[in-house]
Structure 1
Amino acid sequence: MTDSAGGGLRERKKRRMYETVSETAIRLFLERGFDAVSVAEVAAAAEISKPTLFRYFPAKEDLVLYRIADHEGEAARVVGEGPTPIAALRRHFLAGLEREDPVTGLNAHPQVLAFHALLYGTPSLVARAQAHLERSEAALAEALGGDLDARLAAGQIIAVQRILALENWRRIAGGEAVEVVKADAVVAAGRAFDGLEGGVARLLG
């Protein structure tokens, strides 16, 4: 086996470990509540030691947020697809609405609704998620140029995406049909990105 092959296998095994432990933890948290489950109980259920768990997940909240970790640099990756940063982000967000991507909040699957209820309903997770948003914002600002105007633009973009997704989730969690929410969500996203297009274009020149 070559070093590169060995490295690839190690990375796959490491990723599987992250996924297995995170999903085990989320299952327990959904069953009993975030604060009612200890890290030691998660480690036992995942059949690893507590020190091993902390090597993968430095904080208990990270066990939950791992599920959305892949989205952290998403906006930064998308803006280069053009023709303008906002046009690329608009297209990406609308495509997410069309396929009912959970990250847009537009998904009625019971497990998705339960995960979002856990995330938004647990104060320590809300606080930890803020750090996730700040890293997303920093990555996007860097992709937009890294100066103050880029940071101002990134802050607006990340806030708009967060608010749109949260509104969609709240309505669906409140019992509204996905089809009804989806139609309104597309219109709302259009208005929001129209507003961003003007403001961000001025900031970025």
Structure 2
Amino acid sequence: MTEGLRERKKRQTRQRISEVALGLFVERGFERVTIAEVAAAAEVSVNTLYNYYEAKEDLVLPPDQASPQRLADIVRARQPGESAARAVLDRLRDELRRRDRSVGLTEGFGRVFDMMRAAPTLTARLEDLGRQMTDALATVLAEEAGAAPDDQMPRLVAGQIGWFHSLVYAEIGRRIVAGEKPDAIAEAVLQLLGLVEELLSEQALGYAVRER
């Protein structure tokens, strides 16, 4: 479907607001920049900005990119014969190899990461996002497995997946702070995922395999 003029302008405005906001946040700190200042710098009204972003934190962690449904969506889209855990492992490996923006492997992300670490509201939101991802995944696993209400396996497997998903981001962050380059980080985290896969039990790795 071809993008219409109206949709393209909205997308461009949204992108411009986000880029301007990140620039100001990195330069001055997230807490020191107001929504009004972002709007003025992006040459839009405050009301227009709020039409695109409901909260200040959304300018850094847009809901369409930092979604509580991320893990659940990956598992829903897994291929026949693929388990839930392996689907997430494969997605992470693909994102690392592509140096995908979603895992922070772009030049200059170090300064963005430092800004985020220094903002309590952003770090709290990231922690809450991780919990929401795991909860949403547990719900999907329970539905697909037809699990009884007292069956703990969906939540346990979701917890394991949530753990290594968070581990990847924590390791990337640690290496960014240490000044490593995206290519070196990607290779190191790919090796880490190999160790994670060896560590996980066959029961966790083989849970919720999609029927062929």
Both proteins in one fold, TM over 0.5: yes
Residue matched to 2:124: 127
- Kindly indicate whether the alpha-carbon contact (under 8 Å) linking 1:103 and 1:165 is maintained by their aligned counterparts in 2: no
Q: How does 1:54-203 map to 2 (within 5 A)?
A: 54-66=50-62, 69-72=64-67, 73-79=69-75, 80-81=78-79, 82-105=81-104, 107=105, 109=107, 111-146=108-143, 149-178=153-182, 180-198=184-202, 200-201=204-205
**By how many angstroms is 1:77 displaced?**
2.7
**By how many angstroms is 1:26 displaced?**
0.7
Give 3-state SS (helix, strand or coil) of 1:65's partner. coil
Say which structure is richer in helix. Answer: 1
Identity fraction in percent:
34
How many residue pairs get matched? 198
- More relative contact order in 1 or in 2 (CA 8 Å, sep 6+)? 2
Q: 1:101 to 1:159 in 2, by over 3 A?
A: same
In structure 1, give the amino acid aligned to 2:134. E
Structure 1: distance between partners of 2:183 and 2:205? 32
Q: How does 1:33-52 map to 2 (within 5 A)?
A: 33-52=29-48
Q: 1:179 to 1:52 in 2, by over 3 A?
A: closer
Give 3-state SS (helix, strand or coil) of 1:69's partner. coil
In structure 2, give the amino acid aligned to 1:77. D
**By how many angstroms is 1:30 displaced?**
1.0
TM-score of the pair, normalised by structure 2: 0.76
Deviation by residue 1:5-46 (Cα, 9 ceiling, x = unmatched): 8x9655444433332212111111111111221111011112
For structure 2, the 5+ residue unaligned runs are: none
